[in-house]
A = this chain, B = another copy of it.
Amino acid sequence: MDGAAPAAAQHPHPYVPRDLNLPGYVPVLLSQSTIVGVYLGSSLLVASLIWLLSGGSPRRSTVDRLLMCWWAFTGLTHMILEGYFAFSPEFYKNPSGFYLAEVWKEYSKGDSRYAARDSAVVSVEGLTAVFEGPACILAVYAIATNKSYSYLLQFAISLGQLYGTAVYFVTAVLEGDNFATSQLHYYAYYVLANSFWVLIPTIISVRCWKKICAAVKFQAQNQKKAKSR
């Protein structure tokens, strides 16, 4: 099973379309529950840590503390998971059981364009990892220290996440939407997992939009008052 199989040979991988050629593919070694469990577990750990650490200031609202948890979680996901994918074109050949390679071998069952190195997927993941990941961590800091750019930064990252997800889904449809190993993988990985990055950025964008518009209105009204005095 080692590499360089001719194009017409069988393809010893679980992905769809079946004629996808992945010479040197090494099957996923960890179980699905281990892969998903480690991700959810470490995410919960990060969120709990941020929740506890952010509880020090009595002036900080529950919403702000939840947002800090979200930004830490999504920022680390962008930088570590998506960053690894963007810069590891041969992850599917990894024989060591390395967790990050296993994640993408498993996720490719929901969307084989990851293993196939689809250029739209790689560019969206690359931009997300390089620009949005660090920006998310900056957002945690901005909320913690009450920066004047806090809402605007959260708005900008959320829009970026929405744009990236839109390109991700639209290109899938344009390319035939036939990249999932099974219905279960399609709905669990491709639809459900990504839906959080549609839903939550939408809510945050709307909230930031309102907060910022209120501030601009406040400034306009009070500067008018000051002038008319």
Listed in ascending order, the chain A residues whose CB lies under 8 Å from chain B are 119-120, 122-124, 126-127, 146, 148-152, 155-156, 159-160, 163-164, 166-167, 170-171, 174-175, 209, 212-220, 222
Instruction: Tell me whether A170 and B209 are in contact (CB under 8 A).
Output: no
Q: How far is it, in angstroms, between the C-alpha of A152 and the C-alpha of B205 when the chains are bound?
A: 11
Q: How far is it, in angstroms, between the C-alpha of A122 and the C-alpha of B160 when the chains are bound?
A: 18
| Among candidates B123, B146, B213, residue contacting A148 with C-beta atoms closer than 8 Å | B213
A166: chain B residues at CB < 8 Å are 123, 127
| Among candidates B152, B156, B218, residue contacting A219 with C-beta atoms closer than 8 Å | B218
A119, A126, A156, A220 pick with most chain B CB within 10 angstroms: A119
Q: How far is it, in angstroms, between the C-alpha of A154 and the C-alpha of B225 when the chains are bound?
A: 26
| Among candidates B148, B167, B209, B220, residue contacting A167 with C-beta atoms closer than 8 Å | B167
A124, A152, A159 pick with most chain B CB within 10 angstroms: A152
Instruction: Tell me whether B160 and A123 are in contact (CB under 8 A).
Output: no
Task: Kindly provide the distance from the CB of A87 to the nearest chain B CB, expressed in whole angstroms.
Answer: 12
A124: chain B residues at CB < 8 Å are 167
Task: Kindly provide the distance from the CB of A17 to the nearest chain B CB, expressed in whole angstroms.
Answer: 15
Q: Sorted from nearest, which 4 A-B pairs have the closest CB atoms?
A: A123-B170, A120-B120, A119-B174, A215-B219
Can you name 13 extra interface pairs (CB under 8 A) apart from A163-B163, A163-B164?
A119-B170, A123-B167, A123-B171, A127-B167, A146-B220, A148-B213, A148-B216, A212-B212, A214-B219, A215-B216, A215-B219, A218-B222, A222-B222
Q: How far is it, in angstroms, between the C-alpha of A164 and the C-alpha of B122 when the chains are bound?
A: 14
| Among candidates B126, B171, B213, B220, residue contacting A152 with C-beta atoms closer than 8 Å | B213
